[in-house]
Amino acid sequence: MRTNGIQHIFFDLDHTLWDFDRNSALTFEKIFKMNAMEIELESFLKIYEPLNLAYWKLYRENKIDKPSLRFRRLKDTFNALKMPVKAGLINKLAIDYIDHLSTFNHLFDGTVEILDYLCPNYTLHIITNGFREVQQGKLNNAKIDHYFNTVTNSEMVGAKKPDPRIFKHALERARADVSQSIMIGDNYEADILGALGLGFDVICFNYHKTHIENGIKTVDNLIELKQFL
């Protein structure tokens, strides 16, 4: 049964349904072995993960391009670890990472259960800033692609969340009215504020355990969405 007139649910993918941190760690473990690199994975990830988030923020703000993001997040991590790694190997690692990331398909607990719960009563969609060549592979390999009527990627639009253009494009593709739509995502700036600015209802999947302003619906696990939908 629908509530509050909602007919269309738009999900973010990474850090919302698809367990990015877990899958990314497994990918690095794999590509370091492929390239015969002796590196302590936990130490690497402790530095890499916040750097990656910072570079993605710059990417959303159009302050760096995709090749720079891919290279510099690795380069800065190796520099911080005082590991001399040649540019050629960093570029190879950057390519290997993208090539192998979608071969791991761990989802957050409750993902399939909540999609099964929502699918009969709502039309489901994805809006993602992730790289075009990777995101569809994630959906396919995790076997959740069939739940979604449309998948809108920032590269097909030429704009990244929180830019209103990507939300408008997603609404047009979905043939949805914003008054009948809700956005669910983990990133407060990109997903929540971006969607609110266009008039969406929103729910924050508070994966990062950050402070969320009063009045914004939040869940700590996906099954809690049943409280609202």
Residue 146 pLDDT > 80, yes or no?
yes
Give kind and range of the element (H or E) at residue 34. Answer: helix 20-34
Q: Which residue range(s) make up the domain with 190?
A: 8-18+106-227
pLDDT at 4 over 80: no
Residue 87 shares a structural domain with residue 128: no
Give the integer Cα–Cα distance in Å for 190 and 148.
Answer: 20
pLDDT at 214 over 90: no
In a domain, 65, yes or no: yes
Amino acid letter for position 90:
I
Q: What is the pLDDT of residue 3?
A: 56
Amino acid at position 12, single letter: D
Place 1 in a pLDDT band, splitting at 50, 70 and 90.
Answer: very low
Cis before 162 (ω within 30):
yes
CA 110 to chain centre: 17
Report the domain count for the chain: 2
Q: How far apart are CA 74 and CA 97, in angstroms?
A: 11
Instruction: Give the tokens for residue 171.
Output: 């609404």
Question: Could you give the CA distance from residue 97 to residue 32 in angstroms, rounded to a whole number?
Answer: 10
Provide the sign of the torsion angle of the four alpha carbons 203, 207, 212, 214, taken in this order: positive
CA distances (Å), 63 to each of 38, 51, 57, 58, in order?
A: 33, 15, 9, 5
Q: What pLDDT shows up at residue 208?
A: 81
Of 6-20, 99-113, 121-135, 160-174, minimum mean pLDDT range: 121-135
Average pLDDT for residues 25-38, to the nearest whole number? 97
In a domain? residue 167: yes
- Segment holding 169, helix H or strand E: helix 164-174
Residue 5 pLDDT greater than 60, yes or no: yes
- Give the per-residue pLDDT at 195: 97
- List helix spans (H) across the chain: 20-34, 41-60, 66-80, 87-101, 111-118, 132-141, 154-157, 164-174, 194-198
What does the mean pLDDT of the chain come to?
A: 94
Q: Is the pLDDT of residue 43 over 80?
A: yes
pLDDT digits over 51-74, tens only?
A: 999 999 999 899 999 999 999 999
Share of the chain above pLDDT 90, in %: 91
- Distance of alpha carbon 74 from alpha carbon 93, whole angstroms: 8
In a domain, 3, yes or no: no
CATH of the domain at 219: 3.40.50.1000
Euclidean distance between CA atoms 44 and 74, whole angstroms: 10
**In a shared domain, residues 112 and 201:** yes
- Regarding whether 27 and 13 lie in a shared domain, the answer is no
The reported pTM is 0.91
Specify the pLDDT at position 72.
Answer: 97
Query: In the predicted model, is pLDDT for residue 2 greater than 60?
Result: no
Amino acid 226: pLDDT: 96
